Structure 1
Amino acid sequence: MKISATSSGGYAGLVQHLEVDTDSGPAGKALEQALKAHNYFAAAPSAAPIGADLLRWTLTFDDAGQQRSVSFVEDGQPANAPWQELLAQIRAAA
């Protein structure tokens, strides 16, 4: 499975891009297990507030041609906490 995370926005407007191939990295199996355990493929992020100063992330999961993308804002909303946790795991694996 290939996982990518891309950010945009924030005060500086910098773009970050992270990629993880779960088949080749040592943290890959843990990421796949986290995705399945938390049912990330079926979960929906909370409504994103409007604000150019907020950092927005798009996570894309590509598993054997089946692709899904989810966007969320780093704004501290409890509904986005699972996405933040997954982003932390992606950062650690990248």
Structure 2
Amino acid sequence: MKITATGGGGFAGITQRHEVDTATSPAGPDLKMALEASGFFAAPRAAGEEPVGADIPRWTITVDADGERHSVSFAEDGSAATAHWRTLLDRILAA
């Protein structure tokens, strides 16, 4: 399973990209469980309402597994609606 997190926005407008292959990463099994526990594969592509503001970072988490691809995009606005995606993102970035 390949996990890609791509983010951008904020005042600096810097784009970030982080990839994890769960087959080779020591964090792989934990990330697989975190994805399943989060409801990632059943979640809609856009998580929550899109807040207004160019300074709000936005992230997309994409998972390629078994010939399928699913993505979830969210704004890092600190809202309760996107908090669990930020938690998942933190785990991906730490891997």
Task: Quickly name the TM-score band, shorter chain normalised.
Answer: over 0.9
- Equivalents in 2 of 1:75, 1:55: separation in Å? 8
Amino acid at match of 2:24: S
Q: Identify the residue that residue 13 of structure 1 maps to in structure 2.
A: 13
- Equivalents in 2 of 1:92, 1:26: separation in Å? 11
Partner SS, residue 32 of structure 2:
helix
TM-score normalised by the chain length of structure 1? 0.94
Partner SS, residue 79 of structure 1:
coil
After TM superposition, which residue ranges in structure 1, 4 or more long, deviate above 2 angstroms? none
Displacement of 1:14 in angstroms is: 0.4
Unpaired segments of 5 or more residues in structure 1?
none
Q: Identify the residue that residue 58 of structure 2 maps to in structure 1.
A: 56
- Equivalents in 1 of 2:40, 2:12: separation in Å? 29
Partner SS, residue 89 of structure 1:
helix
**Contact 2:43 2:72 (8 Å CA) reproduced:** no
Q: Identify the residue that residue 81 of structure 2 maps to in structure 1.
A: 79
% identical aligned pairs: 53
Amino acid at match of 2:71: S
Q: Identify the residue that residue 92 of structure 2 maps to in structure 1.
A: 90
- Equivalents in 1 of 2:81, 2:3: separation in Å? 21
- Cα RMSD after superposing both structures: 0.9
Count matched residues: 93
Displacement of 1:69 in angstroms is: 1.0
Displacement of 1:65 in angstroms is: 1.4
- Equivalents in 2 of 1:81, 1:4: separation in Å? 19
Q: Identify the residue that residue 41 of structure 1 maps to in structure 2.
A: 41
- Equivalents in 2 of 1:16, 1:56: separation in Å? 10
- Equivalents in 2 of 1:38, 1:16: separation in Å? 22
TM-score normalised by the chain length of structure 2? 0.93
